[in-house]
Amino acid sequence: MLRYTLRRLLGAIPTLLLVIVLAFLLVHAAPGGPFDDERALPAEIEANIAAVYHLDEPLPMQFLRYLGGVLKGDFGPSYSYRDYTVSELIGRSFPVSMQLGILAMLLATVIGVSLGILAALKSNSALDRVVMGFAMTGISIPVFVIAPLLVLFFAVKLHWLPASWTGSADASRLLLPVLSLALPQIAYVARLTRASLIEVLSSDFIRTARAQGLGTAAIVRYHALKPAMLPVLSYMGPAVAAVLTGSVVVEEIFGIPGLGQLFVRASLNRDYTLVLGVVIFYAALIILLNLIVDLLYGAIDPRIRRR
Amino acid sequence: MSAVARIWARMRTSKTVMVSGGILCAIALLAIAGPWISPNEYLTANFDNILRAPTPSAGHVFGTDDLGRDLFVRTMMGVQVTFVVAIVASVVSLVIGVLYGATAGFVGGRVDAVMMRLVDTLYATPFIFFVILLLVVFERNFLLIFVAIGAINWLDMARIVRGQTLSLREREFVQAARLIGVSTPRIIVRHIAPNLVGIVIVYVTLTIPQAILIESFLSFLGLGVQEPQTSLGKLVNDGTKQMEGASWMLLIPGTLLAAILLCFNFLGDGMRDLFDARRTQ
């Protein structure tokens, strides 16, 4: 297990490095610079400014300097938010997004797995068809359509829940954003659980268990569920990425001051350092979570570790 | 029977494929013919006729938006953009994915290992954020958006084609062809490629809704298609801003987008049942 963990850890480093290099080069290719003004500065002053910010150094040197900063958690100053560094802005907005993301993932896993088990046990029944129809619809409706629809019905028409983050301070403001983020994931998890559980239930060791006289509940609980959860577990990496992407839209719709909203604002303002910092942060987060999923997978399924 | 006729004959046996494909064709036809038949222009603003609810008698079947523009014509323009994205992005991902996957699978050995290692690495990178970065840094234009979306989606295709090629290479009929002295390019064209068609069709159909989703996501954020052009994602965004007074501005494009995605997903599922041998046991 230790060797497996080390190999996975080492495998994540080139990916992260590739992300940073690509993002850095992209931003560097952007036309114009932060000190370009309508009134041209004298050449000597421009050279002095460039020297202070190391813009006169060759590109690889500038990259290493930036990389050194990133490793210490320093992404430089923001272009559009006065007096703030990129790290401060990320640090301030990430906890809100994290809260949303964790709640949405929990909801998606619990409800999705339960629905999937239900559909698998009653496969080809009316219940199964209803659940799978719901799942197909859930996969097909984009988050940015679900979220406004939920607002339209539960906030604008029925007045049950607040329509925006600032409209209320209690936990009820979390409900609609979390639900919008979780619905598509519930659908995916339910489909995966159903397909995988049906496959496991048709395997030989389950037939043996049945022959020994075990009831369906015991078979699912003690024999079928663990192997059936493996595809679901490996979906958790993409699911987290989808929830993070979804939160970009959801935070914009509900006016939530999280990382997603910060990212959209930064993109529209062409705040290069901030966009660069957030992209690297998101990438690192997704790579880290994928790593955790991989390690969990290895811990549950010994066949993986030997490869 | 030609390959096309064979595929068509097989598709006709599946009700899911025929129904969802039929609905998509109908939507596409309406999107092409609609703006042509309608007396309204998608650009013409009319400030005497702002935010009018759908009224067929006044000539605005889907109502008007906050600038008094006819929403039927705008929605149909949006559907056109959606379908163009679907086609262009799938072709981009198809070409890159098939070439890359078939090369890796057929050459094998160390080349294959390196090529697939790169795919694994790219797989772990959150591409959507790169596309956003790309759109922030460079001038936004149609072509860039399409290519960027296609470039995200080729990874799945490459993996699947590579796996299929790898197993085909070892099959008896390929070895027999090699034994009687058929050249490598001819083996690829005559024996490997025809056996890839099925699985490639399946995964192209499954890629299309992904591409549509990404385009509408970008347009929703204001990073995709720019005014006065429009797309379904952009229309949903406009509708979200007006939903308290003019819910049709959200409901019509939102429903249409969901319906298109639903049909493509059903189509993809149906095609997989028909053509993906691994799934039909």
In this structure, what token pair is assigned to residue A254?
């509900």
Q: Note the residue count of chain A.
A: 307
Q: Which amino acid is at A73?
A: G
Cβ–Cβ of A267/B258 closer than 8 Å?
A: no
Confidence at residue A175, expressed as pLDDT on a 0 to 100 scale: 84
Strands (E), chain A: none
Q: Which amino acid is at B252?
A: I
CB A258 within 8 A of CB A63: no
CB B192 within 8 A of CB B102: yes
In this structure, what token pair is assigned to residue A45?
């002053």
Confidence at residue B281, expressed as pLDDT on a 0 to 100 scale: 39
The number of beta carbons lying within 10 Å of the beta carbon of residue B134 is 20
Whether residue B235 lies within 8 A of chain A, CB to CB, comes out as no
Which of B240, B242, B244, B269 to probe by mutation at the A interface, max A CB count within 10 Å? B240
In this structure, what token pair is assigned to residue B277?
């041998």
Confidence at residue A166, expressed as pLDDT on a 0 to 100 scale: 67
User: Degrees (nearest 5) of the Cα angle B149, A176, B63?
Assistant: 65
Whether residue B257 lies within 8 A of chain A, CB to CB, comes out as yes
Whether residue B128 lies within 8 A of chain A, CB to CB, comes out as yes
Confidence at residue B9, expressed as pLDDT on a 0 to 100 scale: 85
Cβ–Cβ of A253/B124 closer than 8 Å?
A: no
Whether residue B137 lies within 8 A of chain A, CB to CB, comes out as yes
Looking at residue A301, the DSSP 8-state letter turns out to be -
Looking at residue A41, the DSSP 8-state letter turns out to be P
pLDDT tens digits for chain A (307 residues)?
777 788 878 878 888 888 888 888 888 877 766 666 666 777 787 778 777 777 777 788 888 888 888 888 888 888 777 788 888 889 888 998 998 999 999 999 999 999 999 998 888 888 888 988 889 888 888 888 888 888 888 877 777 777 776 666 667 778 889 999 999 999 999 999 998 998 888 888 888 888 888 888 888 888 888 888 888 888 888 888 888 888 888 988 888 888 988 988 888 777 888 888 888 888 888 888 888 888 888 787 777 666 5
Helix (H, G, I), strand (E, B) or coil at A137: helix
Give this complex's ipTM. 0.78
CB B217 within 8 A of CB A245: yes
User: What distance, in Å, lies between the first and last C-alpha atoms of chain A?
Assistant: 12
Q: Which amino acid is at A170?
A: D
Give me the helix-helix angle, B248-275 and B71-107, nearest 10°.
30
CA dihedral A171, A177, A183, A184 (to 10 degrees): -150
Nearest CA in chain A to B265: A140
Contacts of B10 (CB under 8 A, 6+ apart): B274, B275
Nearest CA in chain A to B252: A145
Q: Identify the structural domains of chain B with CATH numbers, from first to last.
A: 13-35+66-279 (1.10.3720.10)
Confidence at residue A186, expressed as pLDDT on a 0 to 100 scale: 93
Confidence at residue A36, expressed as pLDDT on a 0 to 100 scale: 66
CB A304 within 8 A of CB A292: no
**Mind spelling out the 3-state secondary structure of chain B?**
CCHHHHHHHHHCCCHHHHHHHHHHHHHHHHHHHHHHHCCCCCCCCCCCCCCCCCEHHHCECCCECCCCCEHHHHHHHHHHHHHHHHHHHHHHHHHHHHHHHHHHHHHCHHHHHHHHHHHHHHHCCCHHHHHHHHHHHCCCCHHHHHHHHHHHHHHHHHHHHHHHHHHHHCCHHHHHHHHCCCCHHHHHHHHHHHHHHHHHHHHHHHHHHHHHHHHHHHHHCCCCCCCCCCCHHHHHHHHHHCCCCCCHHHHHHHHHHHHHHHHHHHHHHHHHHHHCCCCCC
CA dihedral A35, A40, A44, A45 (to 10 degrees): -40
Confidence at residue A182, expressed as pLDDT on a 0 to 100 scale: 93
| Closest CB to A279 among B124, B133, B222 | B133
Shortest Cα–Cα distance, A118 to chain B (Å): 21
Q: pTM above the 0.80 mark?
A: yes
Residues of chain B under the 70 pLDDT cut: 1, 42-53, 55-60, 68, 124-125, 139-140, 277-281
Confidence at residue B50, expressed as pLDDT on a 0 to 100 scale: 67
B177: left (phi over 0), alpha (psi -120 to 50) or beta: alpha
